[in-house]
Amino acid sequence: MEIPKQYDPKESEQNHYERWESQGCFAPEVNRDENAPVFSIAIPPPNVTGSLHMGHALQHTMMDVLTRYKRMCGYRTLWMPGMDHAGISTQLMVSRDLKKEGLTRHDLGREKFIERVWKWKAESGGQITKQMRREGVSVDWSREKFTMDEDLSRAVRETFVLLYEQGMIYRGNRIVNWCPNDQTVLSDLEVQKDPQPGKLYYLRYPLKDGSGTVTVATTRPETMLGDTAVAVNPNDERFRDLVGAALSLPLTGREIPIIADEFVDVEFGTGAVKITPAHDPNDYEMGVRHSLPQIVVIDTHAKMTDDAGAEFAGLDRYKARALVIEKFEELGLLEKVDDYEFSISKCERCRTVIEPLISMQWFLRMDTLRVLGLELLEGFKKPRFVPEVPYEKVYANWLENLRDWTISRQLWWGHQIPAWYTAEGEVIVARSAEEARAKAGTDELTQDPDVLDTWFSSALWPFSTLGWPDETVDLKTFYPTSVLVTARDIIFLWVSRMVMMGMHFIGNRPFDDVFVTGTILDKHGQRMSKTKMNGVDPLEVFDKFGVDATRLTLASVGASDTRWNEKQVESYRNFANKIWNAARFCLMNAEGATVEPSWHAHPASAERLNAGVDEHGQDARAASLHDRWIDSRLNKTARDVRQALAEYQFHEAVQTLYHFFWDDFCDWYIELTKSEVTAEEPSPERDAARGRLLSVLEQALRLLHPFMPYITEDLWQRLPGVGSEFHHPAYREAAPTIMLAAYPEGEASLINEDIEWEMQALIDLISRVRNIRSEMNIKPGEPVRIMIGAPDEKLRAVFSANTNQIQRLVRASEVTISAKLEAPKASARAVLVGGAEVAVPLEGLIDFEAERNRLGKEKEKLQAEATKLEAQLANPQFAERAPAEKVEGIRARLADIAQRTMQLDQTIENLR
RNA sequence: GCCCGCUUGGCUCAGUGGUAGAGCACUCGCUUCACACGCGAGGGGUCAUAAGUUCGAAUCUUAUAGCGGGCACCA
């Protein structure tokens, strides 16, 4: 069999995904066990306009690891894919295309425009789904959803109608965040505060009676044209006598009162605040409290209205600002202008400065909904946030302070609000136009032109995708989902809303756990963003290092933020290559052997392997130390990986697998089994060793598969003897694939600490001798004799059973083992565990002084440790209060050090 | 302003109340019949600073500094 020396990720990435998908391996129906436990994930639907970025790749990797792992464990597994219609983004993107043709959406009209958007979606939308296939995600594409699909739209209308009927949705004239560029209202969460240097203007308002002026401070002088009061704190001595007095508002000739309100901060500015109820959220509230009139002076295009006065009408808000200041200066009413840094609200999408406006919009009342979320959290600890700190607190805190949600948007692309108006202005909310006409008793209806906030439909995602409002099998089976994997920036925008909607409509949480991933930063620690152009394209990383290596890198990010480090991907690329070459070795020596499906699950295997050391080497088939050792290590690895994944410790799982495969399997097991496996002549022993090697590899590939789907499948398919009988029992009928193989159990009975201790003694021996070779500058090809002294009988047995291996791994010509070491004076020595010693006779090669120094250094190290331990032991309170096992451990360690030190002393003395 | 997180070898990061870990980088030696994307052997950190709790703290508490993030109605 020809296998190249270097792993080519592209080839295996091309060869398996299509087969997995077309054979239905991703669909839960592949599982034929009716009683199988269920695992489900709803993907955070990417925007239809989007393309794959690191954040997606990160989340998708984690979700895929979990999904593939659970599937291999026999769960009925559904990872639901889909996309979000992304109202504003998509509308803007299509509008931009139109602009190139010199058109606006208004030229086309609503219907044609929407047709155009659908056309765009069919042609170039959803690029990301192709890119996701490259990632290897095991989502069930046969169930793919889009938030604007008819069934999901129906769910949206249903929820809207129900919420309206329940009095939770209302329409009202409120102050809202308005984007003058996008020409739509935005929710609080779509607005970003940007700190900016600006000016604080101090304006004088004359008292009507001419007895003086009151100075107010403002960052937005143009809004003074809409002022309807000046407010002071009722406890402010300075203004006590002025409350109730009238001011003459400059430039307008209007008369406005001075009112008292607790809200006013005595410390800030002058202590007197101008109140513009129509153009500031706080002023709006205060206006409502004091029944102040609302004068609209800025329109939806951020231009001044006629009510701003003839001089200002039609001016842009910033031009108006300059003019207001100019006028105040002329009138001698501009007291001063200070430099001032403050936060300005901007549209998250287009960065235009938000204009607070009073506008008729639809709102969703949050008072009862947020209580549902809080009760679920406080009463049932659901969802469980991982990591719990800080997200649970942040989430709870946000729910506590939640305000009503502005759900209408002045867009065309989205779910049009299912509300109709009669000629008389009566509001009819219905599931369809027919229902509305029936309810209204007339055909003369106009539907509300607005659409719903994109996040409204996203909030329904975990159940709308499963068929709600119908009571489908999918809904019953897969809701609540098992876990939500997401970035922290949409905890409020999305996570909390899914919880509230899920509780309200299904009466149950949408997911058990929320795993919040870290963020991948650029190498300077900055967030990756389009505007900064500092993003790393995952597809380029795939091309350069392979998908599997990238996935390992991403899985290692876990829950904390990490700077992008290409070196790390490179090292995992090397790991993939290591796997490739280990398998290459196994396959090059596979003749006469096959993988045994029952190898690890065989009822007798544990018994057989733990039958005890066969000191006579009678059972050549399975009694070797390294065979039983790799078994123990493999099962411990499986156990640890399972545990790590249960706690979403992806990094831990990757580390465990990496070190098992590279250190245990490649560096030791393959090396120790090589002499058996590479024997020239066929023999039952050789073929048995080959079979064991292949079986360990096969198990290791299964362990790695959730993280590295491509290379593991590629290699697994090449193993002699693999088939559907390797599958988890739930998948026996499916065509052979590693993705349906049973995930190794991590059987406790196969984890054997005695065996691991024995193997560790062997590893130590080999390492110490190699160290001597290296330190003594013995040429790699030069054979040495080694002499081992071991008073412990068990250790002697371990070493004698492995003399061949020792010879091979340290290039020894001869290995002698005795209870007491009697080596020539001219030897380099090392002290081992259990009072054992090793000596390498080096006639003529050894510099006695250098060797004494080398041993002296080792002794110093031991002494330093002993000093610390003794001090600890000498403390009477330590012996008294520390747990007995700790004290015992330290005593034992000290005894060991004492023995080694004594042996070192003797050795050093002998070298004189 | 309030809240939170981070600060561990040159770099990127794990970790933990009881003898400091990995990968990369570095040093030395190797084309040893799976792999130079490799093999073997090494060097390197008083775990930001200070005080406290404890028999014992890098790990818990508090304060400080630097960095990062979230929230907030300061005109």
User: Which residue lies nearest B4, CA-to-C1' measured?
Assistant: A390
Between the CA of A662 and the C1' of B25, what is the distance in angstroms?
20
Burial A737-766 (b: 16+ CB within 10 A, else e): bbbbbbbbebbeebbbeebeebbebbbebb
Among candidate residues A447, A453, A528, A446, the one with its CA nearest the CA of residue A487? A528
Between the CA of A569 and the C1' of B12, what is the distance in angstroms?
11
pTM comes to 0.92
SS3 category, A88: helix
User: Which residue lies nearest B13, CA-to-C1' measured?
Assistant: A562
Q: If you search the block for the tokens 């170039």, which residue do you land on?
A: A124
Between the CA of A589 and the C1' of B48, what is the distance in angstroms?
54
pLDDT, averaged per 10 consecutive residues of chain A (912 residues), comes to: 88 94 97 97 94 93 97 97 92 92 93 95 88 96 97 98 97 92 88 84 93 92 94 90 93 93 86 93 91 94 94 94 95 91 84 91 93 92 89 88 91 96 95 96 94 96 97 97 93 94 97 94 86 90 96 91 92 97 96 76 43 38 80 94 94 95 96 93 91 95 97 96 93 95 92 92 94 89 92 93 93 93 87 89 79 81 81 83 84 85 84 78
Report the relative pairing of strands A451-452 and A408-409 from DSSP bridges: antiparallel
Q: How many CB atoms lie within 10 A of CB A532?
A: 10
d(CA A54, CA A536): 7
d(CA A46, CA A90): 12
Angle at alpha carbon of residue A865, lines to A860 and A869, rounded to 5°: 145
pLDDT given at position A598? 58
Minimum-distance nucleotide, CA of A665 to C1':
B34
Q: How many CB atoms lie within 10 A of CB A348?
A: 15
CB within 8 Å of A591: residues ≥ 6 apart: A682, A690
Among candidate residues A178, A177, A242, the one with its CA nearest the CA of residue A216? A242
pLDDT given at position A893? 83
Tell me which nucleotides of strand B come within 7 A of a protein CB.
3-6, 11-15, 18-19, 22-24, 28-42, 54-56, 67-75
Minimum-distance nucleotide, CA of A218 to C1':
B75
d(CA A572, CA A577): 8
Distances (CA, A) of A317 to A180, A192, A341, A801, A850: 11, 20, 20, 90, 85
> Per the structure block, which two tokens stand in for A470?
């119908």
SS3 category, A66: helix
Minimum-distance nucleotide, CA of A861 to C1':
B19
pLDDT given at position A615? 35
User: Would you say A664 and A673 are in contact if contact means Cβ atoms under 8 Å apart?
Assistant: no
d(CA A495, CA A502): 11
User: Which residue lies nearest B11, CA-to-C1' measured?
Assistant: A565
CB within 8 Å of A46: residues ≥ 6 apart: A52, A56, A83, A84, A128
A305-346 pLDDT, tens digit per residue, is 999 999 999 999 999 999 999 999 999 999 999 888 788 888
pLDDT given at position A560? 86
Q: How far apart are the first and last CA of chain A?
A: 58
d(CA A388, CA A520): 20
Name A232's bridge partners: A260, A272
Among candidate residues A529, A524, A576, the one with its CA nearest the CA of residue A548? A576
Among candidate residues A228, A224, A229, the one with its CA nearest the CA of residue A308? A224
Among candidate residues A55, A46, A44, the one with its CA nearest the CA of residue A564? A55
User: Which residue lies nearest B12, CA-to-C1' measured?
Assistant: A565
Q: If you search the block for the tokens 């371990």, which residue do you land on?
A: A798
User: Would you say A232 and A275 are in contact if contact means Cβ atoms under 8 Å apart?
Assistant: no
Minimum-distance nucleotide, CA of A772 to C1':
B41
> Per the structure block, which two tokens stand in for A390?
């800080």
> Per the structure block, which two tokens stand in for A546?
């392979």
Between the CA of A771 and the C1' of B40, what is the distance in angstroms?
9
Spell out the SS3 assignment of A92-134: HHHHHHHHHCCCCHHHHCHHHHHHHHHHHHHHHCCHHHHHHHH
User: Would you say A855 and A863 are in contact if contact means Cβ atoms under 8 Å apart?
Assistant: no
Angle at alpha carbon of residue A504, lines to A501 and A505, rounded to 5°: 85
